[in-house]
Amino acid sequence: MINQLVKGIKEKDAPIVVGLDPMLSYVPKHLVKDAFAAYGETLEGACEAIWQFNKGIIDATYDLIPAVKPQVAMYEQFGVEGLKAFKKTCDYAKSKGLVIIGDIKRGDIGSTSEAYAIGHLGTVKIGEHVYSPFTEDFVTVNPYLGSDGVKPFLKVCKDTDKGVFILVKTSNPSSGEFQDRQIDGKPLYEIVAEKVAEWGEDVMGEDYSYVGAVVGATYPEMGAALRKIMPKNYILVPGYGAQGGTGKDLAPFFNEDGLGAIVNSSRGIICAYQKDPYKEKFSSVDYADASRQAVLDMKEDLKNAFVK
């Protein structure tokens, strides 16, 4: 799957992943009205609205991008109906040729991690039947429990040709509270990065490993150090757009070959119609066109990462 992701990035000339992180307040009124007319003001109605919203964004952007990253929390807030919308969104994006990065940030004791890995990346056998419960190609993994919390994901990745992005240095303001703590003369995030490089050696694709890392766009200097520690690991870079990251901050995350990183934007793309400069030009009915324009603008801005 890492090979397919790299191929998609090259073909579309866009190291961009659109984050499908829908809140009901992001969904244009006409979609909410139609969904409530069909299902009432219910969890089902809300989930129909977010699904239609996602579908519009996927339809308007799939030819420009290699991947989407649905954030499971946005769906879980609506319970079981939300998880159905999550799966429907993943399946639809996949039918459009997109790579799916499930942002689930899981990680637990070994046996529990194994169940997470099976559910999101693998297959489950029931009697004589084999099912793929969810259908992501990658998931995000929290490494706080150590190797035995990560390795079950790697085993499933090996069996299924799928991949993971492991949290190394997150984009949020408090990420340094634990991640920057010095241990034996180096920050914890560097120790995690060394483990990511080690875990990744065992599951190599053509040029890059099935094991990637998450490093926030909001910490470019750290990105430079981490790029060196993990030369064969793709870096998923969140924090662009709504959290303040810009194209020129991103140079350190890429390798010399222009590959090695994929940049996420969620609110910056999916809420574009609600924000400057797009809200002048696009009405809420044209929200998907605004998202498309925001992807095109992001693509242009990312060129600044490569200006020497």
Ligand X SMILES: O=C(O)c1cc(=O)[nH]c(=O)n1[C@@H]1O[C@H](COP(=O)(O)O)[C@@H](O)[C@H]1O
Contact 105, 141 (CB under 8 A): yes
Of residues 2, 6, 21, 102, which one binds ligand X by CB under 6 A? 21
Q: Does residue 23 interact with ligand X by CB under 6 A?
A: no
Q: Which of residues 245-274 bind ligand X (CB under 6 A)?
A: 264-268
* Residue type at 191 in one-letter notation: I
User: 223-262 burial string, b = 16+ CB within 10 Å, else e?
Assistant: bebbbebbebbbbbbbbbbbbebebebbbbbbbeeeebbb
> 113 vs 170, which CB is nearer to ligand X?
170
| Separation CA 290–CA 298 (nearest Å) | 12
Of residues 242, 259, 279, 289, which one binds ligand X by CB under 6 A? 242
Q: Which of residues 67-86 bind ligand X (CB under 6 A)?
A: 71
Q: Does residue 233 interact with ligand X by CB under 6 A?
A: no
Q: Does residue 239 interact with ligand X by CB under 6 A?
A: yes
Segment near ligand X (CB under 6 A), from 31-39, 52-60, 236-244, 247-255? 236-244
Matching residue, tokens 């006409």? 30
**Tally of CA atoms within 13 A in the half-sphere of 224 that contains its CB:** 6
> 79 vs 244, which CB is nearer to ligand X?
244
- Residues constituting the chain: 308
Burial of 88 (0-12, 13-18, 19+ CB in 10 A): middle
> 61 vs 170, which CB is nearer to ligand X?
170
Segment near ligand X (CB under 6 A), from 120-128, 202-210, 237-245, 278-286? 237-245
Q: Does residue 52 interact with ligand X by CB under 6 A?
A: no
Q: Does residue 216 interact with ligand X by CB under 6 A?
A: yes
Q: Which of residues 89-118 bind ligand X (CB under 6 A)?
A: 103
Q: Does residue 22 interact with ligand X by CB under 6 A?
A: no
Write out the two tokens for 10. 């090259």
Give the closest residue to 234 by CA, choosing from 256, 261, 204: 261
Q: Does residue 19 interact with ligand X by CB under 6 A?
A: yes
Q: Which residues bind ligand X (CB under 6 A)?
A: 19, 21, 71, 103, 140, 170-172, 214, 216, 238-239, 241-243, 264-268
